[in-house]
């Protein structure tokens, strides 16, 4: 049996989302650094600043717009979280996953997580897109409460297959790989990158893993995509900086948007 801890802020956020009809969404998207333009593709869109949603944490990281967008894609009701908060900003794992918990409790069946990540495979073109097939969580902040059942792998094959078919539909190259989540906020050292490569990771970043675990535990089906925006330290020939990550995310925007738009109808078929 799941042990529910009292969480007034989660209750407030769930109520705020319910009042705005978020529970009708078939798919939820969380957009990472520089990937916010996807939300502009929604039809009949309504944007709600996080500041207007009781209990919603607000990011202070550039490239995270900080608003929730409701609308439709291919006639499918969706909700887009345009920006997220991170552990490295000082938020707890409970706070980082609060919106995902609220979405799960409202019965939204599918979740697509996205992020900007450093590439660990020297042969891969930069920038590129990678479907996350598994992850390694080295963030040191357990996202699940005692009594919450976690899945060995939160990323569902059915939504993953739908993502692959969508990539073929859209003519977008989509690589596969394991994502390694670290705490941040600093970029990884070359030694840490070698460690990540040793354990089989193809990309490294500072988000996603907690949200994936909590969503899967809450009954959502999860897919995830990394925008490989830069080679990781030790692979890159130049120092890393966040502005370049955001810029690379924007460079990928057309491919990324085409992929997710093609994914929506296939995802709904998989969810049904």
Is 207 an annotated catalytic residue?
Answer: yes
| Beta pairing partners, 123 | none
Active-site choice (45, 88, 195, 247): 88
Is 59 an annotated catalytic residue?
Answer: no
Active-site choice (28, 117, 196, 206): 206
Residue 58 is given by DSSP the state: -
Other residues' Cβ atoms within 10 Å of the Cβ of residue 60: 10
Is 64 an annotated catalytic residue?
Answer: yes
Separation CA 245–CA 165 (nearest Å): 27
Separation CA 28–CA 266 (nearest Å): 14
Active-site choice (187, 230, 232, 248): 230
Residue 2 is given by DSSP the state: P
Q: What b/e sequence results for 128-159 when a residue is b if at least 16 CB atoms lie within 10 Å of its CB, and e otherwise?
A: bbbbbbbbbbbbeeebbbeebeeeeebbbeeb
Classified as helix, coil or strand, 34 is: coil
Active-site choice (39, 59, 86, 117): 86
- Ordered DSSP codes for 142-156: --SPTTPPPPS--B-
Active-site choice (242, 251, 253, 261): 242
Closest CA to 154 of 107, 114, 201, 211: 211
Active-site choice (115, 128, 207, 226): 207
Is 92 an annotated catalytic residue?
Answer: no
Active-site choice (25, 39, 64, 163): 64
Is 157 an annotated catalytic residue?
Answer: no
Active-site choice (102, 116, 220, 224): 116
Active-site choice (9, 89, 105, 261): 89
For helices 209-217 and 98-105, angle between their N-to-C axes, nearest 10 degrees: 20
Whether the CB-CB separation of 183 and 205 falls below 8 Å is answered with no
Is 230 an annotated catalytic residue?
Answer: yes
Is 33 an annotated catalytic residue?
Answer: yes
Separation CA 155–CA 170 (nearest Å): 22
Active-site choice (33, 59, 115, 128): 33
Classified as helix, coil or strand, 117 is: strand
The residues annotated as belonging to the active site are: 33, 64, 86, 88-89, 116, 206-207, 230, 242
């Amino acid at each position: 049996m799941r042990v529910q801890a009292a969480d007034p802020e989660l209750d407030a956020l769930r109520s705020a989302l319910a009042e705005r009809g978020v529970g009708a969404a078939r798919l939820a998207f969380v957009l990472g650094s520089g990937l916010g333009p996807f939300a502009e593709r929604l039809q009949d869109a309504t944007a709600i600043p996080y500041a207007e949603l009781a209990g919603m944490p607000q990011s202070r990281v550039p490239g995270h717009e900080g608003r929730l967008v409701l609308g439709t894609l291919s006639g499918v009701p969706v909700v887009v979280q345009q920006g997220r908060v991170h552990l490295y900003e000082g938020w707890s794992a409970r706070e980082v996953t609060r919106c995902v918990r609220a979405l799960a409790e409202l019965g939204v069946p599918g979740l697509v997580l996205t992020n900007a990540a450093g590439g660990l495979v020297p042969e891969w073109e930069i920038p590129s897109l990678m479907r996350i097939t598994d992850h390694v969580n080295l963030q040191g902040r357990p996202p699940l409460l005692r009594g919450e059942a976690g899945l060995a792998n939160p990323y569902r094959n059915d939504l993953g297959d739908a993502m692959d078919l969508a990539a073929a539909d859209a003519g977008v190259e989509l690589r596969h790989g394991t994502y390694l989540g670290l705490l941040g906020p600093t970029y990884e050292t070359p030694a840490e990158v070698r460690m990540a490569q040793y354990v089989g990771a193809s990309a490294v970043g500072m988000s996603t893993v907690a949200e994936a675990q909590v969503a899967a535990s809450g009954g959502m089906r999860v897919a995830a995509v990394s925008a490989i925006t830069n080679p990781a330290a030790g692979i890159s020939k130049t120092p890393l900086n966040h502005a370049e990550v955001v810029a690379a995310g924007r460079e990928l925007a057309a491919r990324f948007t085409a992929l997710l738009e093609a994914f929506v109808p296939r995802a709904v078929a998989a969810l049904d």
